[in-house]
A = this chain, B = another copy of it.
Amino acid sequence: MDGTTTIRAPRGRELSCKGWHQEGALRMLMNNLDPEVAERPSELIVYGGTGKAARNWECFWAIVDALRGLDDDETLLVQSGKPVAVFRTHPWAPRVLIANSLLVPEWADWETFRELERAGLTMYGQMTAGSWIYIGTQGILQGTYETFAALAEQRFGGTLRGRVCLTAGLGGMGGAQPLAITMNEGVALCVEVDPRRIDRRLEHRYLDERIDDLDAAVERAEEARREGEPLSIGIPGNAAEVFPALLERGYVPDAVTDQTSAHDPLGGYIPAGCSLEEAAELRESDPERYVREARASMARHCAAMVGFMERGAEVFDYGNSLRAEAKLGGFERAFSYPGFVPAYIRPLFCEGKGPFRWAALSGDPGDIAATDEAILELFPEDERLGRWIRQARERVRFQGLPARICWLGAGERHRAGLRFNELVADGTISAPLVIGRDHLDSGSVASPYRETEGMKDGSDAIADWPVLNALLNTASGASWVAVHHGGGVGIGKSIHAGAQVVVDGTEEGALRIERVLTNDPSIGVVRHADAGYERAGEAARALGIKAPMLGR
């Protein structure tokens, strides 16, 4: 009961619940706390700071009990990680409905949230932690892959072959960059102030080489560029020094971004001229000066990025607040280049594209191999998708239940789901799958600092859409549905929803899959068409979505 037990989802075809929808929820809840998957399983923390799967261990075991006893026409309600009730609904209804971390807006700040959390009344659900569909770091790699793929498509004809991308930061998220760039066939130059991070990434084969001398690194990159060879190079150094140095030499990479932890000018970003030890000391002895120096460094760092942009490089912000901090550091033109969402992700959202994922409840990697094949067969014309799937099956190590993630859009997801259902029915796949997704998706999130930043019509803060998304998925037959507050960007700053559907190989399952995987991405298309994005309007028309006010 106390978190000393190791949690691992049951595998195989045998049910521990009364039906596969419940079983899917149970296994994915447990999988979220598998030590291979979760960051701090003993505290029920899955990922993303303090994103939890259940409020406490007593609640966790009560959820498990409730799921095991749940009938096929019952629905379990979970309030911020606590199982509060089971009601009789009907077979097509979701088996679990979840609301996590929601607060009345005037009270929606971290201070109040933490107070309520200490009083045992709520839990931080992040996005996929409290909705039981986190699958480990594959998601980060794939999201980064997709961002660079979108960049390649918009700017470089669909590939990064023969292109050099400069970036910095090889931490938890940023460490995916070198592999994501080489998976897109490009060359990555990655500046990282902490050499141990470089070495760790070398070890995990996310990074190919470490070159300590800047000139040598550039030379090696240029050579690979000429050969069209995918290659990633880690350069020990401070981005606030290395970026300006490269600019001074007149070197212009094809694309430039940054994933140092700029959002945290005291705890995260290392000021120029400081060793890691000196930084740690200064942080303690004079935190104000630390922040001042970090911001001054970020101003130089960001100014160099604007310089690259002015010389023709494709430059974007990767959601780490570097621009805002650089502006505080005195660099006025920090917001000269766009954020990654408006630049690359929103055009995908306009087609309902977002991170689609599935896990094999069997525990058998062969089941995922079968789905990989199916995806390649279903979408042979999608070069970018094919490249991802082919490389992912070689390079991605599964954590917990075998799983796959890729970005599919409206009109595609339900085709994949229905095909998987056939494969479960005919035994090619050995047990049911769960299909789910991140809350970061086309029609499921309102988050003015990230997913809905700078919407064309100014509707960034309108939060009707994620709630409609959850209601719609509930009405469409999802297996479990969640509405959360504060994921990604923090309490007060976002409202978002998630939905999962179990692929059980039955005909009723096929109907649920078809409805959920058609409607869920389609509301994303509608949300963007409503905001005035032409591309979304065209997608809505092409897909035959009934949108009464479209074009009015």
Name the interface residues of A484-511: CB closer than 8 Å to any CB of B.
Answer: 485, 491-495, 511
A93 at interface (Cβ–Cβ under 8 A)? yes
Q: Which candidate, A115-123, A145-153, A277-285, A427-435, is the interface stretch facing chain B?
A: A115-123
Q: How far is the CB of A53 from chain B (nearest CB, A)?
A: 16
Q: How far is the CB of A439 from chain B (nearest CB, A)?
A: 13
Q: How far is the CB of A91 from chain B (nearest CB, A)?
A: 9
CB-based contact B104/A106 at 8 Å:
no
What residues on B are CB-neighbors of A471 within 8 Å? 94, 97, 99, 470-471, 474, 481, 483
Q: How far is the CB of A522 from chain B (nearest CB, A)?
A: 7
Q: Which candidate, A2-10, A249-257, A286-294, A541-549, is the interface stretch facing chain B?
A: A541-549
In the docked arrangement, what's the CA distance between A389 and B338, Å? 63
CB-based contact A79/B465 at 8 Å:
yes
A404 at interface (Cβ–Cβ under 8 A)? no
CB-based contact A90/B89 at 8 Å:
no
A313 at interface (Cβ–Cβ under 8 A)? no
CB-based contact B75/A492 at 8 Å:
no
CB-based contact A467/B121 at 8 Å:
no
In the docked arrangement, what's the CA distance between A121 and B470, Å? 20
CB-based contact A549/B93 at 8 Å:
no
CB-based contact B530/A97 at 8 Å:
no
What residues on B are CB-neighbors of A122 within 8 Å? 462, 464
CB-based contact B483/A467 at 8 Å:
yes
Q: How far is the CB of A93 from chain B (nearest CB, A)?
A: 4
CB-based contact B530/A84 at 8 Å:
yes
What residues on B are CB-neighbors of A547 within 8 Å? 84-86
Chain B proximity mask over A43-74: 1 for CB below 8 Å, otherwise 0: 00000000000000011001101100000000
In the docked arrangement, what's the CA distance between A548 and B457, Å? 45
Residue of chain B at shortest CB distance from A471: B97
A102 at interface (Cβ–Cβ under 8 A)? yes
What residues on B are CB-neighbors of A459 within 8 Å? 116, 121
Q: Can you pick out 25 interface pairs between chain A and chain B where the beta carbons lie within 8 Å of each other?
A: A58-B549, A62-B548, A63-B548, A65-B548, A75-B472, A77-B468, A80-B464, A82-B549, A84-B549, A87-B472, A87-B515, A87-B519, A87-B523, A89-B476, A89-B519, A97-B468, A97-B475, A100-B464, A101-B464, A102-B462, A102-B464, A104-B448, A106-B461, A107-B448, A471-B471
Known pairs A83-B548, A84-B468, A106-B448; list 16 more (Cβ under 8 Å): A77-B472, A80-B462, A85-B547, A87-B523, A88-B519, A89-B472, A94-B475, A99-B463, A99-B467, A102-B446, A102-B463, A105-B485, A105-B491, A105-B492, A105-B493, A116-B459
Nearest first, the 5 closest Cβ-Cβ pairs linking A and B are A105-B108, A107-B461, A99-B464, A105-B105, A93-B475
